[in-house]
Amino acid sequence: MTLLENQYQLFQELERLWENFIKDGRERKSKPEYFKKAWAKLDDLWKAFQGTHEQICMEISQTDVYFTENYYEQAKGIYNKFLKAINAGYSPVSKPAVPGTSSEDKPETFVSNRQEGSAMPQPQRPEKGSYSRLDESLRKQEANFRAVVRIIANINIENMSEKWEFQDALKTLESRWTLIDTDDKKLNAVNKFGLCVNCLFSHNGKECNSKHVCRKCSQPHNTILHDALQKSRTSGSSVAIATPPRDSVTSTSHVSQEVVIMSHLIKRLPNKTFSKPSWTNIQNINLADPEFYVSRPVDLLLGADIYSNIILSGIIKGDDASQPMAQQTQLGWLLCGRAQTYHCNVIINNIQDIQQFWEIEDIAEEGEMSSEDIHCVKYFQETTRRNPEGRYEVRLPMKPNFEKHLGISKQKALAQFRNLERKFEQQENLATAYKTFMREYLDLKHMHVVNSNPTLECYLPHHGVERAESSTTKYQVVFNASSKTSTGYSLNDLMYKGPNLQQDLQSLLMKWRQYKYAFTADIEKMNRKILVNPEDSPLQRIIWRESSQQPIQTFELSTVTYGTKAAPFLAMMTLKKLAADERESFPDAAKVLEESFYMDDLVHGAHTLEQGQQLIHDLNLTSK
């Protein structure tokens, strides 16, 4: 597979991942694990796409369609939209440590976000004189460092809407920052962020294609790392990241723990400053917090795993229940006992949530149709016909001059199909279900082989969707009419959607409850019962073969395709057309067809058993 084919394939997978994310229901999106999996898949795809993009930039001409149609920018747009959607349901990220305030500059247990006292790296300045320009540059650089530290320290990450982008940018900033620090820190940064020693970018394990070499020794590494690598080879020592631990108050023992820096831990303890108690049992011991009676912010929270390691055997109990007990630890004596607290909960009615609830519960009002919607209805009425078998044949409601904007699509469809075949080799169950579906599609004459090359055609990539909740179709192949062609337009972009003709679901359910006898039904393969005019079928071409031993063939889908923008409109209009045509022979069934269907699902009933049975009989006759 060529680089471009692989990149088009990754682009298709990114589009499909985003479309599936949008289609997933609220129940699945209510679980944090769902967003974690979605982020993991998106991250893998984006890294692969970026890696291939770097190779394409070096090997492919800038005049190629890949560059002229801005595929990278399109993919980046999908990636950013995906991140924003994940951000709405995923837990907030932890605030990373500010570069330049590493653990070497202060004790490990000091985690305050106040950066005014942070020790900045102090470059060695030459004496004034002939080096005055360099001296001035160093002063400006140091001022820039401090400005960035202040900005990052003042960011309230908990209120940010772009947390993922912030974390990404901060990681990049930290890696670039550290590389202009001391030699040891340069190598630490390269190892920590998995950077290439030559171009200082991450290739995700792939070989670096950069032709640049060190300007000092002509070796394949970046010039900025020359001194650091020379020292490392001379001393033979390995680089490691170390953080100085904090000494205990009462002993020489040490505690080492990784921490997460947050903008706010808990409220101040105690709530208010009070007078120092005169408890006799703690007069002559060294407390871990000698000023426990002063209200101050909490600097650090340690878990029970640390507490179990620092606890010692000493215990001092109070003279009565009103006095606290003192527990000896490696950090000093800790006080614990009963404290009187008051809890006050405030409930604020969220007017916006209540208003949204009203809107959900309210019965929707039918709005006026736009000029485009009126055109779609009129076009359907003028072009739809019924064949001798009773099946309806419709035209696709395409926008004016769509032929000028529809580009080449076969290359992308072919690349995705080859990727699909590789999945078949690895997943036997997927291959069996997919081929069974496509075999049925062909047997029912819902698609047919073509050998002609019309002037206007559109190839639709396809993939499988498992539908565990469906009682009829457990596995369905979806044809992606939103896939971009070489011009940047997809078939759906150039197709009218048509008006929303769906009945209000709440009204349907309310009417359904009025009957003594109720029944439900659905129209099997509703879209595929409707034929597409042969003039439009070249816009629904696909690539397929059942076995890799067979030649790849082109098929045209002969029916309304699930995944095209106008499919819901065409299905509902055809249902209304059927009701109008059969009203004289089956008046009751025609009324049900018009008023009691929600897409392909029917909810209706009758006041007597005989009426219900007759109505079901008539509906079966009209829908054949």
Three-class secondary structure assignment of 138-205:
HHHHHHHHHHHHHHHHCCCHHHCCCHHHHHHHHHHHHHHHHCCCCHHHHHHHHHHHCCCCCCCCCCCC
pTM metric for this prediction:
0.45
401 three-class SS: coil
How many whole angstroms separate alpha carbon 137 and alpha carbon 133?
A: 6
Residue with tokens 């690598």: 229
406 pLDDT tier (thresholds 50, 70, 90):
very high
Residue with tokens 């349901």: 89
Locate 348 and state its tokens: 């604020």
- Of 1-15, 173-187, 262-276, the poorest mean pLDDT is in 173-187
Whole-number pLDDT of residue 67: 82
Contact 485, 595 (CB under 8 A): no
CA distances from 550 to 6, 461, 531 (A): 23, 19, 28
357 pLDDT tier (thresholds 50, 70, 90):
low
Nearest to 97 by CA among 240, 242, 262: 262
Higher per-residue pLDDT: 340 or 96: 340
How many whole angstroms separate alpha carbon 454 and alpha carbon 142?
A: 66
Spell out where 347-409 has E strands. 385-386, 392-394
Report the pLDDT averaged over residues 331-340.
81
DSSP-derived letter for residue 108 is T
Continuous H helices in 444-543: 505-512
Whole-number pLDDT of residue 397: 95
Residue with tokens 């393969």: 525
Q: Which percentage of the chain shows pLDDT scores above 70?
A: 73
Whole-number pLDDT of residue 571: 92
Higher per-residue pLDDT: 449 or 171: 449
544 pLDDT tier (thresholds 50, 70, 90):
very high
Highest mean pLDDT: which of 61-65, 329-333, 395-399?
A: 395-399
- Of 117-126, 164-173, 258-267, 323-332, the poorest mean pLDDT is in 117-126
Report the pLDDT averaged over residues 433-456.
91
Mean pLDDT, the chain, rounded, equals 77
Report the pLDDT averaged over residues 307-317.
83
Residue ranges per domain, the chain?
Answer: 248-340, 363-623
Task: Evaluate if residue 354 carries a pLDDT over 70.
Answer: no
Task: Evaluate if residue 49 carries a pLDDT over 80.
Answer: yes
Task: Evaluate if residue 82 carries a pLDDT over 70.
Answer: yes
Whole-number pLDDT of residue 238: 37
Higher per-residue pLDDT: 455 or 321: 455
271 pLDDT tier (thresholds 50, 70, 90):
confident
471 three-class SS: coil
118 pLDDT tier (thresholds 50, 70, 90):
very low
How many whole angstroms separate alpha carbon 115 and alpha carbon 129?
A: 33
Whole-number pLDDT of residue 560: 94
Higher per-residue pLDDT: 362 or 13: 13
Higher per-residue pLDDT: 283 or 617: 617
CB proximity list for 172: less than 8 A, separation 6 or greater: none
Task: Evaluate if residue 491 carries a pLDDT over 90.
Answer: yes
- Of 330-339, 407-416, 489-498, the poorest mean pLDDT is in 330-339
Task: Evaluate if residue 243 carries a pLDDT over 60.
Answer: no
